[in-house]
Amino acid sequence: MTQLNFLIAKEEAPEINISGLTYVPDFITPAEHEFLLSQIDQHPWLTDLKRRVQHYGYKYDYKARTVGNDAYLGLLPIWLSSLSKKLHDDGIFPSAPDQVIVNEYIPGQGISAHIDCVPCFAGTIASLSLGSPCIMEFSNPRTEEKNQLFWKIAALSFFSAPPATNGGTPSPPENPMSLMESKQSVPATSP
């Protein structure tokens, strides 16, 4: 199972010194951005968390911190399938993602620091910034190193694990990706 996580003018990408993390500014066009927002707005939101959430493909279980075949919701809708295909065609994912989580954060809300469930997802986890720019804070709990990065609207960021050497599922890198916690603060203004 692979996951794409949405976070609700071309410029240089910020300097990123986090192993495995890639930032792609302007991954989608302004028209694609507006289309995605309009599609998201047409679908119901879950409100059982401190933020509004939509799940497509599979529903992530936040309490158990897992996702399984029993959480299958069906194929991605067509409006997400084209984005999923683009992620695969551009070489970001080895196969088209089959799970999307849309998270809505109100101004100043942010998200608590966490480490994504490594065994839940294949070797890549991506985020697409929609609606407003945001500041992503990454910290390494082992070294206490912190990095704050400004993410523009329509920017894609993704963590990728190195390919498996045994032909199986990619295993997450020992350091630092698997140790990096992320925290999002939105919205943000340009630095």
Higher-confidence position of 153 and 17: 153
Element (H, E) at 151: strand 146-151
DSSP 65: T
Higher pLDDT, 114 or 148: 148
For residue 185, CA distances in Å to 26, 112, 164 come to 20, 9, 33
Is the pLDDT reported for residue 142 higher than 60?
A: yes
User: Which is more confidently placed, 172 or 73?
Assistant: 73
Which alpha helices (DSSP H) does the chain contain, by range? 30-41, 78-89
- pLDDT greater than 60 at residue 167: no
Residue 191 has pLDDT above 60, yes or no: no
What is the reported pLDDT for 140? 78
Q: What pTM was computed for the model?
A: 0.75
Among 20-34, 77-91, 110-124, 152-166, whose mean pLDDT is lowest? Answer: 110-124
- Does the pLDDT at position 166 exceed 60? no
CA distances from 63 to 59, 167, 186, 188 (A): 12, 32, 24, 29
Structural domains of the chain ordered from first start: 3-185 (2.60.120.590)
- The pLDDT-based confidence of 108 (bands split at 50, 70, 90) is confident
What is the rounded CA–CA span in Å between residue 46 and residue 76? 17
Residue 97 tokens, joined: 């993602």
Spatial separation of the C-alpha atoms in residues 24 and 87, rounded to whole Å = 12
Percent of all residues in the chain with a pLDDT value above 90, rounded to a whole number: 29
* Pairing of the two strands 156-160 and 146-151: unpaired
Half-sphere exposure of 6 (CA within 13 A, CB side): 25
For the segment 181-191, the average pLDDT, to the nearest whole number, is 41
Assign 3-state DSSP to the chain and report helix, strand, coil percentages, each to 5: 15, 30, 55
